Structure 1
Amino acid sequence: MFAIQKIYDAAFDERQFPELLQGVGAYLGGQSGYLTWSNSVNEARFEAQYGNDPAFLQQYIETYWEHDTLRPVLYAQPEGEPISVYALLQQPDVRASRFYREYLAPQHIVDNLAVNLIKRDNMIATIAILRLGDAPPFDAADIAQMRELVPHLRRAVFLSSYRIRQANLIDAYRQTAHGARDGLVLLDEDGHVLDLGPEVERLSGLSSAAMATRSALGKTLARAMRVGEPVLHDLETNGGTVRLLLQSQTLVRNRFGDLVEGPGAAHAVSVTVLDRRWGLAYASIAAAHKLTPGEARVLEDVLTHGEMTGTPERLGMARATSRSHLHRIYAKTGTKGFSDLCLFAHRFIVPRS
C-alpha cells in the first residue's frame, strides 16, 4: 500500500517531488521516473526526476523532443489513464527511429508507464515511471496500481501548479514595482491583458482584462511588449487626452504555474502619465540614510537645482561646510559623486500633489 500522504506533502513543497517519484517508482518496480510538462510551442521541462542521467534529460529538451516518436501516442492518451509503451517499443518503425537508436536504446529503457495527469489545450503534465535493463515490462497489475494513485497525483500537481502560479504573480510585482509610476499592467506571452491594475483601470475606464486587450490601449501595451522599448500612447478620456509612456519588462517565472489556469503573466508594462509632475521624497531619503538636518538641506538643494556650485549662496552656508555635507551624503548613501547621487535619488521619485 502506498502512503498517500507523501503525495500531498509534495503538493505544498515541490522539493519533495523527486522523493515522491522515487517512492512511486519503488512501489511500481521502476528504476527511474520524472514529472514533466510541455506546451504547444515546443517547450518542455522536467519539473522533477529521479534515477535519470541529467545529460540525457537535457538532450531530450534540446534535441530529441521533436524526434520523440512515442509522444503523439502518449499525448493522445486520455487524461488520467496510464499507458505502457512496451508494445510500441517492439514495432520495427519505432526501433528504426532516431529517437529509439540515439536516446532510448543507450539508456536501456525497457518500458515507460506514463500518465497525462493534466491536459489543457496548450499544456500537458505527465508522470512516467521507467523500467531499465533486464527488468520486465509493466503488466496489468502494475497499471492498475498506478491507476489507483492517479487521482491523488492529479490533485497534487493541480495544487502545486496553483501555488506556483500565485508565487509567480507575487514575484512579478516584486520584479517590476520599482519601475511602476502610475500603474502596472500584466500581459501573457501573446500580449493579452491579464491584470490591468486598479490605477490604470480607473484612468482608462476599462472594466475587464478582455475589454482592455481589445482596446487601443491594449494594442499599444502589446506593441510595447513586442518592441521592448518605451512606447507613447495617447489615451482618450472624458477629461481629455492623457499621454502615457509604456515600458515593458519580461518576467522570470516558473511555467509550471501555467498548467492549471492557462498562460500566466509573462510581461509587465509600467505606465507613466507624462503630464504629471514628479518630485523626490527628501524626508524619506534623509530618514533612510540618517542624514543630519544640514545634510538634508544640502541634498534637497543640489538635487532641486541640478548643480552644487550655487548651494553655499542659496543656503547661506560656507563653501567648505556645504562641501563637507555633500561628501558625508555620498558616504551615507553609498554614492560616488553627484551623477551617481542623482541616479540613486531616482528610487525616491513620487508624484507631486
Structure 2
Amino acid sequence: MNLLTDVMYGPTMNINGAIRKTVHSMASAILSKMVKIIAMMLIVYAIVSAYIHLLNYSKGYYDSIGICFIIGIVLQIAFGTMILIDFSNNFSRGIGLFAMSMAINRLMSNLPNLAEPRGIQFVYALIMIATAVNMLYTGYSFARWRTRSRIGLMCSSLLMLSLTMGKIYYNADSYDVPGELIFTTYPDQCIACIMYVILFVMVSSEQVRNSMPTHVYLRKLDSIRCIKASEPSSYITRCDARTLLNAFIDRKDWSDVSDGGPVECEFKCTLYNYLGDESMIMVQKWADHDSLYITITGSKDGSILNAYRTSIDDISADGPIETCDTLFMYGGQGSEYRLRVRDEVEEW
C-alpha cells in the first residue's frame, strides 16, 4: 500500500512543484514587462508635462521655472529610455531608475518655489524636495543593488502620492473645478499619482523583497545553518521517513494541537547521528498555510535555544520508500535539504 501511495502521489508532488515554479516564472515575466511599461509611462508623462508647460508658458505663467522644468523633462525622458534599452531586464535596476526619474522631476519642478520663502507653496515645495532627495538616494541604491531595505522608497512614494493628491484637491477647490474635470484639468499631476501607486506596488512585490541583499544573505546563512543542523552523518528511521514523505497528503499519524496558536497538528521524530548524538525533528502544519514548517533542534529534548526552522513546499525520495536512501525537502526559495534514511537505529 505504501509503495502504491508513492507511485500515485510522487508524480503529483512533482507536478505541484512544477506548477509553483511556472507561477513564479509568469509573475517574474509580468513584472519584468511592467518595468518596460513604466519606462514608456515616464516618457508619456514627460511629454504631457512639457505640453502643459508650453501652454501655460505662452500665457505668461511660470516664467521662472523654465530652465529647471526643461532639465527635469530631459532627464526623465533619458531615464525612461535607459530602462527601455536595458537588455539585462534587471528588475531592481529598473525600479531604481524609475524612482530617480520621478525624484528628479519633482526636485526640479519645486526648486523655483523656494525663491519666495513664504506661503503654502513654499512649505509644499520644501517637503516635496526633501522627499525627492530621499527618493533619489534610495533609487540610486536600488539601481546599484546596494539598498538593504524597501521601506525608504515605499514611504517616499506614499508621501509624494499624498502631497500630489493634496495639491490637486487644493487647486480644484480654489478654482471650483468639478470632480469630473479634475483629470483633464490636471492630467500631469493625475498621471504622477498613478505612477506613485505603481512604484509602491512594485517595491512591495515579493520579487523585490527576495532580491534585497539582506534577504539574499539571510537565505545563504539559512542554507549554511541547515547543513550544520542536518549533518551527512545524521539519519532518520524508515518508519519516520514514510510519515514525512506523506506529510502533504496524509497526516493521520500526527498529533493534533489545540493550544489556541497557529499550529493545527505536528509530527515529531528523532534525528540520529553515527557519533551517538540525537536531536529532534518537528514538522508542523499551520492554519491557512500551504507550506509545512520543519524545526531541527539541537538536542533530543526539543530545546529551541539552538534550533533551525524553515518552510517546506515539497518532499520526495530518491526511490520507493521501502528502499530509498535519502529524503529531499524543497523550500519556498529554491533551497533543498536532505535527510538520510536507515531501516533501524544503528549502534556504533
* Structure with more of its chain in helix, by fraction: 2
Q: Tell me, yes or no, whether TM beats 0.5.
A: no
TM-score w.r.t. the length of structure 1 is 0.27
TM-score w.r.t. the length of structure 2 is 0.27
